[in-house]
Structure 1
């Protein structure tokens, strides 16, 4: 892979090549990507979607929205740092093509901003709930009407693939979705493969999948235009990651490691003393102990340690990327950047503490159980109503249920198309709207 192709400004429907040196410096194409994402309704819905604590109304706990904004900020710093070094190493990118280090930052910032845009309500349990509906719930009856890969898309419903669908889907009057640059779309795709074969190798890019069968052809077009390396031959579509996807992943890893930990402390699920023991291990070389001890509130002390910790991990991730640039461009770098970090032990300690004290806390478990019930009820009601109506077998109840389904999701044709449309609708609901819709369908709102 080469940087000139990887930094493509091309968008869906373009008939001519977009040249970097011809860009308006006051509004660059990669910055337009950021703007389109932040003004989209799918992004706005993240303000009421769980990051750690489902349905939490606590002021200082992060939602998917605040998490995504923070990941974007960290991603921008990573992209700029890497971009500066890449341009120094490959000056033709600047001198011949006009690229600037801010371009790298803008691509990573936009992709990072969108990284959770396809995630369902109720955190990662929402993905599992949708998959369980088709694997062990009522939805299993559709298996024989689907291809193996279509069925795998549903039973392993993946927020990353749903995100790519949201960013790129064609609708009447809207071609190419948000029409983001191909560079940003590829940087967004941490898992550039389809759902089968499942985890064929231990390579980080094979951990999950990044697009549904419905977007398979468009993803292939993006990958081929950018020169991403084709990993598997034949009918199984799989590519090496776009190098900047490693930075998007690192930004997400840094934020959830440090900020989820901070949320746990603020919620009282983790004692503040652990912040001293665990976070200080990350920042021993940069902490100003006099300044730290002058801070009088828990929030200020945590904020100081958090900022130092994030900066430490940004510097380390940048170092790892640049040291492995050739392997990354050849598709041979097979793990996340933080897996090679000199702070891996400290990171793992923090994550283990978060898992034991936050993700497995009673509040989280209780609300995830409720999320399973809510999403299964919605999936059953809408998928059965939509399919029966398309067969001409719909009841009056089905007609009423579909009154609650927005027009853009009332698809027809193949069963897979209809099921995926319902999944996209349910995944797009906020936590609060999912509860509200569940109450309407079950009649709870009338009690």
Structure 2
């Protein structure tokens, strides 16, 4: 893979090649992409989607929206720092093509901003709830009517693939979805493969999948434009990651490791004495002990250590990326950047404590259980109504249900897979509160 292709400014529907040196510096294409994401309705819905603590009313806790904004900020720093070093190493990218360090920052920031745009309500348990409907719920009945890959898409419903669907899906008046630059679509796709074969290797790019069967051709187009290396065998679609996807992943890893931990502390789920010890172990080389001891409350102490920890891990990720640039470009780097960090032990200690005290806290578990029931009810009701309507056997109740669905759903498509995927896509677009409201309506509690 080569940087000249990987930094493509092409958008869906372009007939002429976009050149970096011809870009308007006041309205750079990669920065336009950031704006398109942030003004999209799908991004705005993240303000009411769970990050760690579902449906929390406290001011301390991050939603998917605040998490995504923070990941984009970290991603911008990572991209700019790496971009500066890449241009020093490959000066022709700047001297001939006109790329600047901020281009790398804008690509990573935009992809990072959108990285959770496809996540369903109720956090990662929402993905599992949708999958369980098809694995062990009423959705099992469709297995024999779908191809293996179609059924796997539903059983392992993936927020990353749903996100790629959102940013690329065409509909009347919105051809090409958000029409993001292909460089950003590449950086966005952490798992550039189909749902099958499942985890064929231990390579980080094979951990999950990045696009549904409905978007397969769209991703192949992106991969060809960017020159991503093909890794697929026997007709299966799989590619090496876009190098900047490693930075998007690192930005996400840094934020959920440190900031979810901070949420746990501020909620009182993690005792301060444990928390401060764990964070100090990560920032011993940069902490100003005099300044630290002047801080008089937990929130300020944790905030100070959090800032140092994020900066430490940003610099660490940049160093690892540049030390392994050749392997990354060759598709031979098979782990996340932070998995190679000298701070791996400290990071794992923090994550383990967050799992024990935050992710598995009673409040989280109780509301994830409720989320399963909500999503199962929505999926069953909508799928039944749409399929009965297609078969011409819809009841009056089914017809009432269909009136509440958005006009963008194609209720008459011949493909059962598309009908089912559209239901999952619609349900995943709901915020936590919207999903609960729809559930209450279906259960007769709207009066």
TM-score range, shorter chain: over 0.9
Asked if the contact 1:5/1:226 (under 8 Å) is kept, the reply is yes
CA apart distance, 1:174: 1.4
Paired position in structure 2 for 1:425 = 426
Aligned to 2:232: 232
| Alignment pair present for 1:347 and 2:347 | yes
| Equivalent-residue separation in structure 1 for 2:74 and 2:266 (angstroms) | 22
1:161-218: CA deviation from partner (whole Å, max 9, x where unpaired): 0000000001122110000000000000000000000000000000000000000001
Aligned to 1:136: 136
Once residues 154 and 219 of structure 2 are traced to their aligned partners in structure 1, the CA distance between those partners, rounded to angstroms, is 18
Q: Deviation of residue 299 (structure 1)? A: 1.0
The offset of 1:399, in angstroms, is 0.6
Give how far 1:387 is off: 1.0
- Residue of structure 1 in register with 2:38 after alignment: 38
Which stretches in structure 2 are left out of the alignment for 5+ residues? none
- 1:6-405 to 2 correspondence within 5 Å? 6-405=6-405
Residue-pair matches, total: 446
Structure 2 CA distance, aligned partners of 1:378 and 1:222?
33
Please give the alpha-carbon distance, in whole angstroms, between the structure 1 residues aligned to 2:409 and 2:16.
33
- Residue range with higher mean Cα deviation, 162-171 or 295-304: 295-304
* Runs of 4+ displaced beyond 6 Å: none
Q: Distance in 1 between matches of 2:241 and 2:266?
A: 36
Q: Tell me the residue number matched to 2:438.
A: 437
Give the whole-Å Cα distance in 2 for the aligned partners of 1:33 and 1:71: 16
- Superposed CA offset, 1:19-66 (max 9, x none): 000000001000011000000000000000000001111111000000
CA distance in structure 2 between the aligned counterparts of 1:334 and 1:227, rounded to whole angstroms: 18
Q: Contact 1:386–1:410 at 8 Å: present in 2 too?
A: no
Q: Following TM superposition, by how much is the alpha carbon of 1:298 offset from its aligned partner in structure 2, in angstroms? A: 1.2
What's the CA shift for 1:275? 2.0
Find the aligned partners of 2:34 and 2:23 in 1 and give their Cα distance.
16
How far did residue 132 of structure 1 move? 0.2
- Aligned partners of 1:90, 1:106: CA distance in 2, in Å? 19
**In 2, distance between residues paired with 1:40 and 1:232?**
33
TM-score when scaled to structure 2?
0.99
- Aligned CA RMSD, in angstroms, stands at 0.6
Q: Does 1:416 align with 2:417?
A: yes
| Whole-Å separation in 1 of the counterparts to 2:122 and 2:232 | 35
Q: Which moved more, 1:6-15 or 1:226-235?
A: 226-235
State the distance in 2 between where 1:141 and 1:172 align: 32
Moved more, 402-411 or 137-146: 402-411
The whole-number CA distance in structure 2 between the counterparts of 1:117 and 1:279 is 29
SS in 1 for 2:79: helix
* Segment drifting more, 177-186 vs 266-275: 266-275
CA distance in 1, matches of 2:278, 2:72: 25
In structure 1, how many angstroms separate the alpha carbons of the residues matched to 2:125 and 2:286? 37
How far did residue 413 of structure 1 move?
Answer: 2.0
Q: Distance in 2 between matches of 1:415 and 1:57?
A: 39
CA distance in 2, matches of 1:272, 1:95: 51
CA distance in 2, matches of 1:37, 1:276: 36
Query: For 1:300 and 1:179, how far apart are their aligned partners in 2?
Result: 41
State the shift of 1:235 in Å. Answer: 2.0
Contact 1:74 1:314 in 2 (8 A): yes
Report deviation, 1:410: 3.8
Distance 1:444 1:174 in 2: 36
| SS of structure 2 residue aligned to 1:444 | coil
Gaps of 5+ in 1: none
SS for the counterpart of 2:408 is: helix
